[in-house]
Amino acid sequence: MKRPHITHNLTISLISGIALISGLLIVSCAPKEDSPTGFILPPGDAMTGQTTFAALGCINCHKVDGVSFTGSDEIQSELIVTLGGKQPRVKTYGQLVTAIIHPNAAILKNDERYMNTQGDSLMPDYTQLMTVQQMTDLVTFLQEHYDIDAPVYAPQGLGYPYY
Residue 99 has a CB neighbour count (10 Å cut-off) of 19
pLDDT of res. 16: 66
* Cβ(64)–Cβ(142) below 8 Å: yes
Confidence of residue 163 (pLDDT cuts 50, 70, 90): very low
Model confidence pLDDT, tens digit, residues 89-108: 777 888 888 888 888 887 76
Residue 52 has a CB neighbour count (10 Å cut-off) of 21
* Cβ(76)–Cβ(20) below 8 Å: no
Please indicate whether residue 60 or residue 153 has the higher confidence score (pLDDT).
60
Considering the four listed CATH numbers 3.30.160, 1.10.1060, 1.10.10, 1.10.760, the one that applies to the domain covering 46-148 is: 1.10.760
Distance CA 67, CA 135 (A): 19
Domain boundaries, the chain: 1-30, 46-148
Q: Is 148 helix (H, G, I), strand (E, B) or coil?
A: strand
Check residue 1 and report its DSSP letter. Answer: -
45-55 average pLDDT score:
94
68-78 average pLDDT score:
69
Annotate 53-90 with DSSP letters as a single string: HHHTTGGGTEEETT---TTGGG---TT-EEESEEESS-
pLDDT of res. 136: 92
Give phi and psi for 63, each to the nearest 5: -115, 155
Single pTM value for the model: 0.66
> Using alpha carbons only, how large is the chain's radius of gyration in Å?
25
